Chain A
Amino acid sequence: MSMRVTQNAVTTAMLAGLQANKAELSRLQLQLSSGRQVTKPSDDPVGTDQAMQYRTEIARANQYQRNGNDGLAWLGTADGALQSGVAILNRLRVLTTQAANTGASDANARTAIAAEVDSLKSDMLGLANTTYLGRPIFGGATSLNAAYVKDPATGLVSYQGDTGKVTRTVGSNAVVQVNINAADAFGSPGNDIFTTFDQILNDLKTNPTNLTNDLVGIQASLDRMTNAQSIEGAAYNRINNMINLAGAHADTLTGNLSDVENVDTAKAATELTMQQVSYQASLAAMSKVLQLSLTDFLR
Chain B
Amino acid sequence: MGTEFGTIGTALSALQAERKALEVTGQNIANASTAGYTRQRAVMTAVGGSVIPAMYSKSDGVGAGVNLTDVQRLQDAFLEQRGNTENGTLSNLQSMQSTLSDIENSFGEPGDGGLQALLSSYWNGWDDVANNPGDAAARTALIGTAQSLATGLNVAAGSLSSQWKSSRESLQSIVNNVNGTAANIASLNKAIVAATSAGNHPNDLMDQRDLLIRQLSTQIGATTRVNSDGSTDVFVGGSALVSGSLSRQLTIGGATAVDQATTNPVSLSWADTGQVVNTASGQVGGLLNALNSTIPSYASQLDAVAAQLVTSVNAQQGAGYDLTGAAGGAFFDPAKTKAANITVTLTDPNGVAASSQPPALDANGNPVVSLDGSNAQKLANFSGTGADALYRQMIVKLGSESQSAQQKVTTQQSVVQQIQQSRDSAAGVDLDEEQTNLITYQQAYNAAAKFLSVLDSVLDTLINRTLV
Contacts and interface: CB of A to CB of B under 8 A. Distances in A.
Contacts, number: 189
A40 B105 contact: yes
B158 interface: no
Interface stretch (B60-68, B335-343, B361-369): B361-369
Interface stretch (A76-84, A104-112, A140-148, A234-242): A140-148
Given A6-B429, A45-B403, A143-B134, A59 B124 contact: yes
Contacts of A38: 110
B439 A298 contact: yes
Shortest 10 CB-CB contacts between residues of A and residues of B: A41-B399, A45-B399, A42-B402, A6-B428, A9-B424, A59-B120, A8-B428, A51-B110, A141-B372, A45-B400
Given A40-B105, A56-B388, A59-B120, A49 B396 contact: yes
Interface string A128-151: 000001110000011110000000
Given A42-B100, A160-B362, A294 B435 contact: yes
Interface residues on B, range: 35 or more
7 contacts: A7-B33, A8-B424, A40-B104, A45-B400, A63-B124, A143-B368, A169-B130
Nearest to B416: A16
A284 interface: no
Given A40-B104, A41-B402, A43-B399, 13 more contacts: A6-B424, A41-B398, A41-B400, A42-B399, A56-B388, A57-B384, A59-B123, A66-B127, A66-B128, A67-B131, A143-B371, A164-B371, A261-B110
A134 B136 CA distance: 12
B120 A56 contact: yes
A16 B355 CA distance: 65
A281 B417 CA distance: 22
B383 A52 contact: no
Given A59-B120, A142-B368, A143-B369, A6 B430 contact: yes
Contacts of B370: 141-143, 162, 164
Interface stretch (B243-251, B275-283, B373-381): B373-381
B109 A52 contact: yes
A8 B381 CA distance: 64
Contacts of A134: 134
* Chain B contact residues, majority secondary structure: helix
B388 to A, nearest CB: 6
Interface in A25-64: 38, 40-46, 48-49, 51-53, 55-57, 59-60, 62-63
A141 B375 CA distance: 13
A168 to B, nearest CB: 7
B432 interface: yes
A40 B98 CA distance: 13
A51 B384 CA distance: 13
A206 interface: no
Which one of A6, A53, A158 has the greatest number of beta carbons of chain B within 10 Å?
A6
Nearest to B109: A41
A295 interface: yes
A267 interface: no
A4 interface: yes
B388 A41 contact: no
B431 interface: yes
A52 B110 contact: yes
